[in-house]
Amino acid sequence: MVVREAVRSGLVGPAQVVSGFVDADGIQESVRDLHRAFGDAPVLHTFAVKAASLVPVLRLLARSGMGCEVASPGELAQAVAAGFPPERIVLDSPAKTHAELAHALELGVAVNADNFAEVDRIGELLAVSESASVLGLRINPQVGAGAIDAMSTASASSKFGVPLRDPGARQRVLDTFAERPWLTRLHVHVGSQGCSLELIGEGVRATFELAEEINAAARRQQVTSLDIGGGLPVNFDDDEIRPTYETYVRRLRAAVPGLLTGRYDLVTEFGRSLVAKNGFTAAVVEYTKDTGGRRIALTHAGAHIATRTVFMPDAWPLRIAVYDRDGRPKYAPERVQDVAGPCCFAGDLVARGRTLPELAPGDLVVLLDTGGYYFSTPWSYNSLARPAVHGFTTHGPAPRFATVRREQTLAEILAESGVDQADALLFGDFGDFGEAGSDAAHARLVPTGD
């Protein structure tokens, strides 16, 4: 029904060949599920901005009771613009510059240092100015990797945090806290997609035990909060939400019995699990062809939107639903097809050898579960436009839509590719090559894009 209405409203179709869609009701429902699962425990649930770095999405999450986890100056600016107060923002990036740290401390957002050198930098800043920031240290419990290497942050040699099991590291953490009373938080994020709940639970338990050890050594509760990170793996195979937040909390209670007793304030960081199933991407099939025995549908959904799926198809497979040009579910004899995107490289396929109703030009392919890390994280390959994103609600007689992000215009693409500095490389004398590249030629050839 939503796809149908989107086509009718011109949000996707021949004139708008690809768009992202965000289910605003679904996001609120997911946030409610998360809060319900943790019950009365003192928890600040934050949303990892990288999963959906769109200000309207962030504002919806802020108004729904979430805090916000950021990992770059851009994400911090988005969080502030969305209306998260500083005390509900956590800064986590692994390579914070001196200036970024100073800014974060000035704002009063929580900061988790990634390593001892960063702790030192924070110490230097605190020596010259006060800050309301809660300050923590990220540890790597080294509990092992999940099924996707690139998504595993707690392997023995992960780039994140202080490797707790390395020789001498635990003692150095204890010393670091003993010397710096302003360190009051431990942070851990084992990973999410491809990581089992057991692995995540083990990482949280290691963090809890370290906090107990630090506090025992300090003879007071120096560590008052634990940021237990995220995330939760998402089921991309069907519509079921699996595992649920409820299951996650049950496992956490079992793995770390003291965790939810109120002894520590908690922070969580969830991204994908809050948004993946609350969004989809719809794209037009432009052509179909048969090549070397393959049936290929050439669509407008490719690596510029589904980057991970295209480059790591086994780790990030996506379900694809097929609709006709009017946005109705398509019923046609099935056949094995490749679904290709518009990028100019051969591997630009969002599905290979997939059995789907036979696609025809004008049909729509819908990439399901793409509410996180897909249309919100576009890649500007081939100078393809960042797609428009629309939010919708189905409360009411018919779905209602609102623009979350406009499609990038040609004028914007030109501006971001340096059109205002077009002469920048003409260091020498280029003589007279007619008017090629002149402003007059440019004005004739290039549409304004608006």
Ligand X SMILES: *Cc1c(COP(=O)(O)O)cnc(C)c1O
Its sign, for the CA torsion 388, 394, 395, 396, is positive
- Selected from 17, 54, 84, 92, the binder of ligand X by CB under 6 A is 92
Q: How far is the CB of 45 from ligand X (least distance, A)?
A: 11
The answer to whether 305 and 346 have CB atoms below 8 angstroms apart is no
Q: What is the CA radius of gyration of the chain?
A: 25
Residue of 55, 102, 51, 44 lying closest to 78 (CA atoms): 55
Q: How far is the CB of 229 from ligand X (least distance, A)?
A: 5
Nearer to ligand X, 148 or 351 (CB): 148
Nearer to ligand X, 51 or 356 (CB): 51
Nearer to ligand X, 69 or 324 (CB): 69
Q: How far is the CB of 90 from ligand X (least distance, A)?
A: 9
Q: How far is the CB of 277 from ligand X (least distance, A)?
A: 13
30 to 49: interface string for ligand X, x by CB under 6 A: ------------------x-
Q: In angstroms, rounded to a whole number, what is the distance separating the alpha carbons of residues 324 and 192? A: 35
Nearer to ligand X, 195 or 350 (CB): 195
Q: How far is the CB of 164 from ligand X (least distance, A)?
A: 16
Nearer to ligand X, 231 or 357 (CB): 231
Nearer to ligand X, 188 or 256 (CB): 188
Residues 6 or more apart whose CB falls under 8 angstroms from that of 12 comprise 3, 6, 18, 19, 282, 283, 284, 327, 364
Q: How far is the CB of 116 from ligand X (least distance, A)?
A: 18
Task: Show contacts with ligand X in window 274-293 (CB under 6 A).
Answer: none
Nearer to ligand X, 163 or 342 (CB): 163
Nearer to ligand X, 48 or 296 (CB): 48
Residue of 351, 344, 346, 352 lying closest to 383 (CA atoms): 344
The token pair that represents 20 in the structure block? 């992202």
Q: How far is the CB of 233 from ligand X (least distance, A)?
A: 8
- Selected from 69, 118, 324, 348, the binder of ligand X by CB under 6 A is 69
The answer to whether 112 and 122 have CB atoms below 8 angstroms apart is no
- Selected from 50, 185, 205, 277, the binder of ligand X by CB under 6 A is 50
Stretch that binds ligand X, among 141-149, 269-277, 357-365, 403-411 (CB under 6 A): 269-277
- Selected from 2, 6, 51, 148, the binder of ligand X by CB under 6 A is 51
- Selected from 88, 96, 272, 390, the binder of ligand X by CB under 6 A is 272
Q: How far is the CB of 269 from ligand X (least distance, A)?
A: 3
Number of CB atoms found within 10 A of residue 429's CB: 5
Q: In angstroms, rounded to a whole number, what is the distance separating the alpha carbons of residues 270 and 192? A: 9
Q: How far is the CB of 146 from ligand X (least distance, A)?
A: 11
Nearer to ligand X, 272 or 330 (CB): 272
Q: How far is the CB of 48 from ligand X (least distance, A)?
A: 3
Residue number with the shortest CB distance to ligand X? 231
Q: Does 76 bind ligand X (CB under 6 A)?
A: no
Q: In angstroms, rounded to a whole number, what is the distance separating the alpha carbons of residues 382 and 313? A: 21
Task: Show contacts with ligand X in window 426-445 (CB under 6 A).
Answer: none
219 to 258: interface string for ligand X, x by CB under 6 A: ----------xxx---------------------------
Stretch that binds ligand X, among 32-40, 267-275, 357-365, 386-394 (CB under 6 A): 267-275
Task: Show contacts with ligand X in window 161-220 (CB under 6 A).
Answer: 189, 192-193
Q: Which residues of 400-414 are buried (b: 16+ CB within 10 A; e: fewer)?
A: ebeebbeebeeeebb
Tell me how many residues contact ligand X (CB under 6 A): 17
Q: How far is the CB of 329 from ligand X (least distance, A)?
A: 30
Chain positions contacting ligand X, by CB under 6 A: 48, 50-51, 69, 71, 92, 189, 192-193, 229-231, 269-273
